[in-house]
Structure 1
């Protein structure tokens, strides 16, 4: 089969009213073609709900191989089937040579049910249909209609729900109850605790007495300016908190700009933590101030406190509620928007004031 697949072939849509509870459904593929930490963390509650309801199910997550370290910690997933990319899936360029082996590996697993849990893109439905499952369903993107006879296996993509709630809503549509939905969760292991404790000791940091700034993000339009982070950092330092700057190794320049703009010293731990170590660091922080990116979701998943700055991002979809979290969104007519590069003047960055972010952080600091 060519890598660029056509419209989904109809699966065997023989009426199954609640496929996730049907005992004949034993092997399930979930097509989640995202590369973000937050994307997968927001899938976690639905995955754990499914595992609690059907511990006998073998669940395969179809996603990018690089997400394995996150998938291993999610719970509710038995294996990862590496996705080679496909036309219409923008996260990574497709690998045409990998498509036939991928389809062969999927077909060999003889899935009873394959679900598109990616989002609002028909390309993901084409990938889902190509897995050869007996039943095919999941999200029905805007403007896309399910193949005849499979409408009951699909849910029109719920645009105006939080990302975690979308997955719970789909699974409820397919037979589960949302009433017992677990919260976001990320397990922190013994090795993670030891690594974080050593890092804190090395830099003289005390749990509960430091603030974390996370100024990086995958897209430039999601990065609140360094000078504004520096202003917040200086004010928190004046309040008596140590200031830590975090990020992945590729964000060292972004972090360095914040540190250089601060009048007070900061501890730059960019690239110095593993995923579990970062989780422990965020859990024990007085507060995290960051962009709409994975660190905010990680803080929520480990019970930390967070202030998240939303520029083009949609807080309805991505902000976490509750007393330990605050979201500040751009107050401009063009937000939210999908742009990775602003086509005008990045006015959303100017609309979020350091004074407001600082006030939100101070509300959360114990």
Structure 2
């Protein structure tokens, strides 16, 4: 049996789907399970080989913003996929407004997933009306429940590899003293807490004796550099130098994480790192870590108080 999951999105989106991947593998232990996603997801599949067998590169499609669209690549993709004999194609991308009709063109034996209210598929055995107001993890487990597939816990697990340890060693940083990770970036600037506030809270914890590690991707080096300039270079800026695995190892041993509500906040949930997550998009109910004893999510659009963030962080991180 060949099951293909369509989820062509970013790190946080895929981490929030890990509990669903785990449940699928438990229910279909002998099936071949493939993830159809963005190019970067190939490394994600390698890490989660216990749940997903292989990766299918999705080349993009008109109306989907995650990557550029090349019509020749799309035509070739459709031609190849029609010959691949998919038994079950799970649409876990979103409400299906664009992708459900597209996925039908791949001629799977069975197509299932989310759909919009009023869609012709709504109320059918294979489709669940997209639940807007529940957490992203629970959303995909609700779909599996609709398909009579039991869940296997809501936690996000993160497998580590020997390569992760080697990548961490390359950074050559001293992690013996208590440290806090500050991750100020996010895919959209509108979803970033002001850098001056990140600098301010970093300075507070430095005065308490913590080392501060500034983390982020290569595209966030200017942002972390600005913050470290305010801190007079006292933080350790490793933005652009970590891999996913080495960053996860750093988080696992950190005293805490302070970040926007973005991919790293879900990585912090997976590594069980105490964290303060600042939500700038008005959807903390959808994206905030579920374990509220270990993670605090602050809706900045409703409670824009630095003192409140500091008090929460001080209480959680000691």
The question of a shared fold, defined as TM-score above 0.5 by the shorter chain, is answered with yes
**SS of the residue 2:257 aligns to:** strand
Within-5 A mapping of 1:199-210: 199=171, 202-206=172-176, 209-210=178-179
Are residues 1:265 and 2:234 paired? yes
Question: Who is 2:262 aligned against?
Answer: 293
Q: 1:290-310 deviations in whole A, cap 9, x for unaligned?
A: 011111111111121111110
**Any runs of at least 4 consecutive aligned residues in structure 1 with deviations exceeding 4 A, and if so which?**
none
Question: Who is 2:294 aligned against?
Answer: 324
Are residues 1:116 and 2:91 paired? yes
Given that residues 49 and 182 in structure 1 are in contact (C-alpha distance below 8 angstroms), is that contact kept between their aligned partners in structure 2?
no
Q: Name stretches of at least 5 consecutive residues in structure 1 with no aligned partner.
A: 1-25, 333-350
Question: Who is 1:61 aligned against?
Answer: 35
Shift of 1:263: 5.1
Given that residues 234 and 264 in structure 1 are in contact (C-alpha distance below 8 angstroms), is that contact kept between their aligned partners in structure 2?
no
Q: Cα RMSD over matched residues?
A: 1.8
Question: Who is 1:335 aligned against?
Answer: none
C-alpha separation in 1, matches of 2:56 and 2:215? 31
Shift of 1:313: 4.4
C-alpha separation in 2, matches of 1:130 and 1:287? 46
C-alpha separation in 1, matches of 2:81 and 2:51? 19
Are residues 1:181 and 2:153 paired? yes
Shift of 1:249: 0.6
The TM-score, its normalising length taken from structure 2, stands at 0.94
Out of 91, 104, 110, the residue aligned to residue 135 of structure 1 is: 110
Q: Which moved more, 1:92-101 or 1:256-265?
A: 256-265
Q: 1:262-299 deviations in whole A, cap 9, x for unaligned?
A: 25710000011111000001111110000111111111
Within-5 A mapping of 1:325-364: 325-332=295-302, 352-364=304-316
C-alpha separation in 2, matches of 1:68 and 1:61? 9
Shift of 1:352: 2.7
**SS of the residue 1:218 aligns to:** coil
Given that residues 226 and 261 in structure 1 are in contact (C-alpha distance below 8 angstroms), is that contact kept between their aligned partners in structure 2?
no
Q: Which moved more, 1:100-109 or 1:300-309?
A: 100-109
Question: Who is 1:339 aligned against?
Answer: none
The TM-score, its normalising length taken from structure 1, stands at 0.82
How many residue pairs match? The answer is 316
